[in-house]
């Protein structure tokens, strides 16, 4: 597999993950009636009206009502952000587990490929399975792959952290 193909998987995976988070934020912070922007506009509109007649109790109640709406919008925003943070943490933990499992699978396949190659066999099916695992891994993290002379591969994260070295793995 080429590094270019593996690198092309990274943005696809990243964009797929972030799209749902952006849509949730857009719902809360967008331009609709229940958005924070609408609550801010309503609050400042009420303040503008009461500034022309500060003794008018009806206008003052409108300011209080608009302030209450703004507070509720801010609380909804905080709740949505907290929910996204919790979701991102869970998703991150699941991704790390998946990366570790794929790294272990690649290391095991490296071992089997090296054993088969040293016995004189052509381990095409094993190589295909390993390449598939590397493709799946490259959708989760930016990786660099180097093929060894015995047919095994080393997989490093783009940051330089070795993830798979022959039949050995590092865990995240």
6-63 pLDDT per residue, tens: 666 656 556 666 787 788 777 767 767 778 888 999 999 999 999 999 999 999 999 9
Average pLDDT, rounded, for the chain = 88
- From the list 167, 139, 138, the residue with the least C-alpha distance to 151 is 167
CA distance 31 to 29: 7
Three-state SS for the chain is: CCHHHHHHHHHHHHHHHHHHHHHHHHHHHCCCCCCHHHHHHHHHHHHHHHHHCCCCHHHHHHHHHHHHHHHHHHHHHHHHHHHHHHHHHHHHHHHHHHHHHHHHHHHHHHHHHHHHHHCCCCCHHHHHHHHHHHHHHHHHCCEEEEECCCCCEEEEECCCCEEEECCEECCC
- pTM value is 0.72
Q: Which residues contact 134 (CB under 8 A, 6 or more apart)?
A: 1, 6, 106, 143, 145, 153, 155
Q: How far apart are CA 159 and CA 25, in angstroms?
A: 30
Digit-coded pLDDT (tens) for 150-165: 889 999 999 999 999 9
């Amino acid at each position: 597999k080429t590094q270019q193909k593996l690198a092309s998987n990274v943005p696809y995976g990243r964009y797929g993950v972030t799209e749902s988070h952006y849509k949730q934020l857009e719902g809360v912070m967008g331009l609709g009636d229940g958005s924070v922007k609408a609550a801010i506009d309503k609050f400042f509109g009420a303040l503008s009206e009461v500034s022309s007649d500060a003794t008018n109790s009806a206008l003052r109640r409108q300011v209080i009502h608009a302030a209450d709406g703004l507070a509720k919008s801010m609380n909804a925003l905080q709740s949505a952000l907290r929910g996204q943070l919790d979701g991102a943490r869970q998703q991150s933990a699941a991704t790390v587990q998946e990366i570790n499992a794929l790294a272990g699978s690649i290391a095991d396949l490296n071992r089997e490929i090296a054993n088969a190659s040293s016995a004189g066999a052509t381990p095409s099916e094993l190589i295909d399975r390993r390449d598939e695992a590397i493709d799946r891994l490259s959708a989760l993290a930016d990786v660099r792959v180097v093929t060894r002379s015995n047919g095994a591969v080393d997989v490093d994260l783009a940051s330089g952290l070795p993830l798979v070295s022959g039949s050995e793995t590092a865990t995240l």
